[in-house]
Structure 1
Amino acid sequence: MTAEEKPQKLPVLCIVGPTATGKSDLGIEVALSAGGEVLSADSMQVYRQMNIGTAKISKDEMQGVPHHLIDLVDPDVAFSVADWTEQADEAILRLHAQGKLPIVVGGTGLYIRAITEDLDFAEQPELRAIRDKWQAFLAEHGPKSLHDELAKRDEQRALMLHPNDTRRVIRALEVVEGTGRLMSSDYDWGQQGGRYHTVLIGLTMPREDLYERINLRVDRMVEQGLYDEVRTLLELGYGEDLASMQAIGYKEMVRAVRGEISLPDAVLEIQQATRRFAKRQLSWFRRDQRIDWLTVDKTRGVAQADKVRIFDLARGLRQELIQQTENRGNV
């Protein structure tokens, strides 16, 4: 097969950016305009029964647009980026076969990176042994001592992690000991391109406006019943040591449910942690030079002119998909 005969990569549109910028709303509008369906790229929305704190949109809010990669596992089931990538590939191939444009929407940077690049998530046996060692250390000495061990080896990464976030603490120790590389060191942003023709749209807004929207979103979560959601999860036996329960909003509210802090203090902690998270998300995505950034107004959302441009782009990608699919069928 010559270079000219080599099949072109089928398209995928990605809408990325920090939390509370309106990615979900734009994804639905694009899907309705261009004949697409949405794939969630949110590492917490994969968990069932965790709805309010993960800001899952309701069936009504979906406006009839099918959403994929939501509610995949129970909160006590381990779910890795490799698991997500496998299911994302299956959904994308299925949509391609149906002539529908896959629209990947979310703020989990590594999930997006798994779509735009061919990352290798193969398990390394030597790292498994290191992980087992630190899990045994955790069982004997507790989360604070585990966190202290990470601080000795990668202080910057330790500062980014709560001592109770034991899964990520162990992962950082695993990387340091197994590879000699600090997780806080610069990520390899080399862009080789992946198995799809990915087009990336990023949403951002002035920091003060973003922080205001984050604070309002957390207030709304509390009004919708975040406290009761967390209490119910605990009553069902989902302990605070689970990776899912270490998510922002859940670990703080666990302390409120247990009476360790007041509800107002929990809300303030969630707002602060979410603002910090949004800053990290933006730093991650800003390094990808392929992203076409749109500035969102805090009240009006994405400008109409920008929407029209994105709709046209998405319709063009879907037409490209249909044409390529037809060409392959004629080979």
Structure 2
Amino acid sequence: MDIGTAKLPPWEWRGLPHHLFDVLDVTDEAAVARYQPEARRIVQEIRERGSTPILVGGSGLYVSSVVFDFRFPGTDTALRARLEAELAANGPGTLFQRLLVRAPETAKRIGSSNGRRIVRALEVAELTGAAVSGALPEEPKPWVPVRVLGLAAPREQLVQRLDARVERMWADGLLAEVEGLIPLGIERGVTARRAIGYAQALAELSGELTRSEAQAQTQRLTRRYARRQLSWFKRYPGIHWLDHDDPQLVVAALARL
């Protein structure tokens, strides 16, 4: 999964090691509770070598799970399988109503359409009797000393860049990439088949969406995801915002480290 994820190709790494690329199969489920310990292990190894790790993202929850003192409940394979079977059979509506009773604030934050997150929240509620957080703590404590930098852009310019990126994904061969992933099982994947862009490409290949519909849906979902990212990172304590268009951006970033 290269094009739809905007994965940096090796020839652009400039000799710097990059980590946690291509570590999951398309049939694997991405889970922040599994990502956190692996990412922290790599961070520790880099620090022990006397180098500075740079975490780039991305999903607010995944970044925060490494940067801040997040703790995650365990999992129950049988319980998860039962909830996922119920989701597949009946859709998210019934599960969402159950979550509203068990953890109303969590349910409101997740929404009624995100079946995967509803299942996880119900799993946590049944295992621990508590609500899954999935949100930045009120007073986040750094796991290790950290400097947080963010790139700021005017909203109009950001929207234009996001829409153009989606068009470029199709122009660069997203459909061919997805066609190549079908024999590997992407249609059975819990995470990959639902990823923004990949879900729409699969729908276009199956005839459910036209090209223009698939691109428009991807653009809309990408813009919504970007808004969520911005609202998440704006709550980071001590974040330094940098002008993304600054010709001296690298110098400005290094000055903050």
TM-score (normalised: structure 1): 0.68
Q: 1:240 to 1:216 in 2, by over 3 A?
A: farther
Q: Aligned-pair distance for 1:61? A: 2.0
**CA separation of 1:312 and 1:241: change in aligned 2, threshold 3 A:** closer
Q: Conserved in 1, the CA contact under 8 Å of 2:242 and 2:253? A: no
1:85 to 2:31 alignment? no
Give the SS at the match of 2:55: strand
Query: 2:193 aligned with 1:245, yes or no?
Result: yes
What is residue 193 of structure 1 aligned with on the other side? 142
The 2-side partners of 1:183 and 1:258 are apart by 36
The structure having more radius of gyration, on CA atoms, is 1
- SS of the equivalent of 1:71 reads coil
Displacement after TM superposition at 1:240 (Å): 5.0
Q: CA RMSD in A?
A: 2.5
Matches of 1:240 and 1:130 in 2, distance apart? 20
2:139 is paired with a residue whose SS is coil
TM-score, length basis structure 2: 0.86
C-alpha distance in 2 between matches for 1:207 and 1:130: 42
Deviation at 1:122, TM superposition (A): 4.2
2:203 counterpart residue number:
255
Higher strand share goes to which structure? Answer: 1
Matched residue, 1:55:
6
Instruction: Give the CA deviation at 1:170.
Output: 1.2
Contact between 2:150 and 2:239, CA under 8 Å: does it hold in 1?
Answer: yes
Aligned to 1:37: none
Partner of 1:235: 183
Gap regions ≥5 residues in structure 2: 101-106
**Unaligned stretches of 5+ in structure 1?**
1-49, 315-331
SS at match of 1:281: helix
Given the superposition, is the C-alpha separation of residues 103 and 77 from structure 1 closer, same or farther in structure 2, using an over 3 Å criterion?
A: same
C-alpha deviation, 1:56, in angstroms: 0.2
Letter in 2 for 1:119: F
Q: Which residue of 1 aligns with 2:104?
A: none
Cα deviations by residue, 1:167-187 (Å, 9 ceiling, x for unpaired): 323123334555454869x65
Partners in 2 of 1:61 and 1:151 — Cα distance?
A: 47
Partner of 2:120: 171
Change (3 A) 1:135 1:159: closer
State the distance in 1 between where 2:75 and 2:84 align. Answer: 17
Distance 1:93 1:155 in 2: 36
**How far is the alpha carbon of 1:189 from its aligned partner?**
2.6
Secondary structure at the residue paired with 1:100? coil
Contact 1:116 1:198 in 2 (8 A): yes
Higher relative contact order (CA 8 A, sep 6+): 1
